[in-house]
Amino acid sequence: MRILETIAKTLKAQHAHPTTVLNALIELENANGIVALEELEYRVARLVRSYERSDPQRKLAQAWLEATRAYLEEHGQVAPIKMAQRNFDRQVVELLNLKAS
């Protein structure tokens, strides 16, 4: 992944321009799809955990992780979660009946 080189360069320089980050994420998605972004998220999360809290590069690695997660939330193809329909009016009536007894 070419993006790993970009991340390494920004960590070494201890600076990443937002346009660089966004362009790298877009390029990765265009080349390899959403699955590659999910893999990147996993790898960067491991990278963040490997740094000590005081390490200045940890903050930038965390920024890469947050940017990747935000990109996935915005552009990821996530299947909708099916939730059971709730009838709140009925639940409220039941609760009121329980309190009245």
Q: What is the reported pLDDT for 97?
A: 59
Give which of 48, 37, 49, 46 is closest to 75, Cα–Cα: 37
Sign of the alpha-carbon torsion through 78, 79, 84, 89: positive
Q: What is the pLDDT of residue 76?
A: 74
pLDDT value at residue 7: 95
Per-residue pLDDT of the chain (101 residues; tens, 9 = 90+): 799 999 999 999 999 999 999 999 999 999 999 999 999 999 999 999 999 888 889 999 999 999 999 999 888 765 444 444 445 455 555 555 554 54
pTM of the entire structure?
0.73
Q: Which residues contact 44 (CB under 8 A, 6 or more apart)?
A: 7, 61, 64, 65, 68
Looking up tokens 């979660």, which residue turns up?
Answer: 81
pLDDT at 63: 94
Residue 94, SS3? helix
Q: Where are the alpha helices (DSSP H) in 18-87?
A: 18-32, 34-50, 56-75
